[in-house]
Amino acid sequence: MQRLLLMLVTAPLLLLATPTPVLGRLTRPWPIDVLVDFLSRVPVSIVVFTVIVVGTLSAPAVAAQASSGLWRGFFDGLLLFAGVVLWVPALRRVPGARRASPVAVAVYLVVQSVLPNFPAIVFVFARHPLYGAYAHAHQAIGLSALNDQQVAGIVAKVATLPVLWWAAWRALSRAERAERTGRDEEPLTWADVERALERTERDEKRSSQAT
């Protein structure tokens, strides 16, 4: 549940609650702007999110989290970062992030709901605990380590699909409404225009320095 809250609730609320001018200032430095441009590409976002989600569920990663509060905090921060990567292409809140069409966003969210959830299937059908760190843990609520693992898999699968599929449905609804009314509900903002001008200026400076 903690993993899901970090990626599916905390990350999108953080992006939605941060004013656009603040997001613009935070992402204006050249290295961060380049990272935003790179991570907001749909294929890149899918790969990065999947690698982080699956990687943090590997046996060595889970053992590290169970051994130290510092490691636990590090992996929580990594999951929050993965959530931001997941939602940047879908929410279109970060200035300079690439903008996919609503249909592409819907497809992207459906793919993100399937690929990273593969470990959840493994958890449900595994016949023995996969993590030695928790294999002999005290049964706090009467669940064995195997039952706890299976419940975790079910929760991960059941909770992820409604959130991401609802967001995909919202994207398609906005596209249908924009087509019917002829009005773009997410027009290009001045923050995006300003970021494009800043990138052009940086490119011109690099070209002049190279010559």
Residue 205 placed within a domain: no
Residue 208 placed within a domain: no
Residue 24 placed within a domain: yes
Number of domains in the chain: 1
- pTM for the full predicted model: 0.87
CB pairs under 8 A, 24+ apart, for 107-112? 107/168, 108/42, 108/45, 108/46, 109/164, 109/165, 109/167, 109/168, 109/171, 110/164, 110/165, 110/168, 111/46, 112/45, 112/46, 112/49, 112/86, 112/164
Residue 191 placed within a domain: no
Residue 193 placed within a domain: no
pLDDT in tens, the chain (211 residues): 899 999 999 999 999 999 988 998 999 898 999 999 999 999 999 999 999 999 999 989 999 998 889 999 999 999 999 999 999 999 988 988 988 888 899 999 999 998 888 888 888 888 888 888 777 666 667 778 888 888 889 998 888 999 999 999 998 888 788 777 766 656 667 788 888 888 888 888 888 877 7
Residue 192 placed within a domain: no
- Structural domain harbouring 77: 2-131+140-184
Residue 73 placed within a domain: yes
